[in-house]
Amino acid sequence: MSAVLADAGPIVALAFTADQYHALARTDLERLAADRVRVRVTFSTLIESYALILRRATPQYAFRWYDSLRARADFLNPTETDYLAAVELVQRYEDQSISLADGVIAIMSRRLELPVWTYDHHFDLMRVDRWR
């Protein structure tokens, strides 16, 4: 495997030592690096993650977080088709709180044949290949 698609959970967890998943995310990141697996982040996940970080920190902290992420991840731009397919996918799970950003990751994971690095059980519901 050459790459994973990152969900917001692990990349936000890396930003805050008090986050419940911080230690796990650090261990995962070390394992990915040791295995030379690239972390890919959709622009929709970047936007979601940045907003989550702004809720917990200052804009300056968020800018530094972005610079750090940019240095170790590849950004991918979803297509219009990805977004439209994500809306259809998320609508199938109307009893769940699945974000459109997660739907985009699920669709792109299938299209690009890349597993998702996530701690979110919704990806299991959507039958997405998860990196473990």
Q: What is the CATH number of the domain that holds 117?
A: 3.40.50.1010
132, part of any domain:
no
> Structural domain tally of the chain?
1
Question: Quick one: average pLDDT of 63-90?
Answer: 96
In terms of residue numbers, what domain contains 81?
Answer: 3-125
pLDDT for 3 beyond 90: yes
| Predicted local confidence at residue 70, as pLDDT | 93
Domain assignment of residue 8, yes or no: yes
Mean pLDDT for 107-112 is 98
Percentage of the residues of the chain whose pLDDT score is greater than 70: 100
- Confidence at 47, pLDDT banded by 50, 70, 90: very high
Q: Output the pLDDT for position 132.
A: 87
Give the confidence band of 1 by pLDDT, cuts at 50, 70, 90.
Answer: confident
Q: Could you please report the per-residue DSSP string of the chain?
A: --EEEEPHHHHHHTT-TTSTTHHHHHHHHHHHHHTTPEEEEEHHHHHHHHHHHHHHS-HHHHHHHHHHHHHHEEEE---HHHHHHHHHHHHTTTTS---HHHHHHHHHHHHHT--EE---THHHHTTPPBP-
In a domain, 71, yes or no: yes
Single pTM value for the model: 0.92
